[in-house]
Amino acid sequence: MIEVSDPNEIAALARDPNLDRRFETPTCPVNWLLLKRSLKVLSFRGHRFPTMMPRDDAQRTSNQQDLWNLLGEKVASIKTGSDELEPLADWVRGIGPDVQLGILVQQLLGQLFSSKFMATEASWDAAKVLVAAPRLNNLPLMMWWFVSGKVRRAKRLLAGMVNEDLSAVNAIGIAVHNVVKSLRQMRVLYANVQTRSGLSAEAAAEQCLFAPASVYRQATAAGQLGDCPYSRHSLFVLSIGEAARHAEGRSLVFMEDSWSRCPANLWIPAMLQGVWNRASVFSQFHDEKLSG
Ligand code: HEM
């Protein structure tokens, strides 16, 4: 297993044609366990989530483009702070408890895929199970989650809310946690009156972007990373969460220069700008009223 957190090395590996998400499990025991666990959690009824699909899968590529197009059409309006962002703008202003945020974000993402989507405490709990399961270090707990059907039930609940569209399950079960982190950060920025008045919406959104902690790749053939040779089936853990904190790592937040580019790479920053705009308009109005 090779863990990489240097932004330039990750960018080079993302371009390496030997590295893919085919994920063949006959490999060494540790890699086998890590891959098996992720594939088990991030699959539903025998189909992998899009984030676990190989590069040359035609259906994956076409779904990725379709979702990018769908979200792209919404970018201009959401950036202005459309009405659907009011609950999140309220939360950023400091209204509402911390526990409410997950449900609000899940609602916003779920509505992209189904107009009937209604996030609940149960669907938010399911999302927490889904994101934690591939990373559980506590082996007995991990076994219990699988044996008792906790992970299966979580996926069934989420998939049932979005017509079993696995891009949508990824959004409301996994990506939702990154967006929650963004809005937590935005609430902190907003709470400081000086920071609030000095930041443009664009700058605020940029300061609130966080990459997923890591993504997996596996070598389909032997190759070389710098001076380090790697063998077929080597597992690469690309620590984009850490790498994206460097100035030159911005494109890794959404793996923007890679075949695996996130389809929400423009929509998420636009949505965050929208929330900031909406929250700030209220604060200006409020400040003006106070000053008479
Ligand atoms: C702050 C929020 C988000 C971040 C930081 C993020 C980041 C990423 C990253 C880094 C990847 C590449 C994974 C890899 O290389 O293996 C990815 C893939 C993906 N993301 Fe996002 N994402 C976010 C939100 C979303 C949302 C809201 C959606 C759906 C509406 C979404 C849908 C997807 C899909 C479908 C893929 C798989 C693309 C493919 O390889 O075919 N993401 N995301």
Domain ranges of the chain: 2-42+56-286
pLDDT of residue 29: 84
Assess whether the C-beta atom of 109 lies below 6 angstroms from ligand 1.
yes
CA-nearest of 4, 6, 12, 49 to 258 is 12
The finding on whether 251 has its CB within 6 A of some atom of ligand 1 is: no
- CB of 243 closer than 6 angstroms to any ligand 1 atom: no
**At residue 277, what is the residue type?**
N
User: Is the minimum distance from the CB of 167 to ligand 1 under 6 angstroms?
Assistant: yes
At 40 the pLDDT is: 94
Ligand 1 atom at minimal distance to the Cα of residue 60? 41
Closest atom of ligand 1 to 112 CA is 30
- Ligand 1: nearest atom to the Cα of 255: 10
Question: Rounded distance, CA 127 to CA 107, Å?
Answer: 12
What local confidence, expressed as pLDDT, does residue 22 receive? 96
Task: Report pLDDT for 73.
Answer: 98
- Burial grade of 26 (CB within 10 A; 0-12, 13-18, 19 or more): exposed
How many angstroms separate the alpha carbon of residue 286 from the centre of ligand 1? 36
Q: What is the pLDDT of residue 98?
A: 85
Q: How far is CA 275 from CA 178, 209, 262, in A?
A: 15, 13, 21
| CATH T-level assignment (fold) for domain 2-42+56-286 | Cytochrome p450 (1.10.630)
Q: Residue 272 has what pLDDT?
A: 98
Structure tokens at 230: 């790697």
Confidence at residue 137, expressed as pLDDT on a 0 to 100 scale: 85
Distance 186 CA to ligand 1 centre (A): 20
Residues 6+ positions from 46 with CB-CB distance below 8 Å: none
Nearest residue by C-alpha to atom 39 in ligand 1? 260
What is the per-residue pLDDT for 161?
98
Spans in the chain with pLDDT lower than 50: none
Strand-pairing partners, residue 43, are 48
pLDDT for 95: 93
d(CA 118, CA 87): 14
pLDDT digits (tens, 9 = 90+) for 154-182: 999 999 999 999 999 999 999 999 999 99
pLDDT of 287 reads 56
* C-alpha 292 to ligand 1 mean position (Å): 46
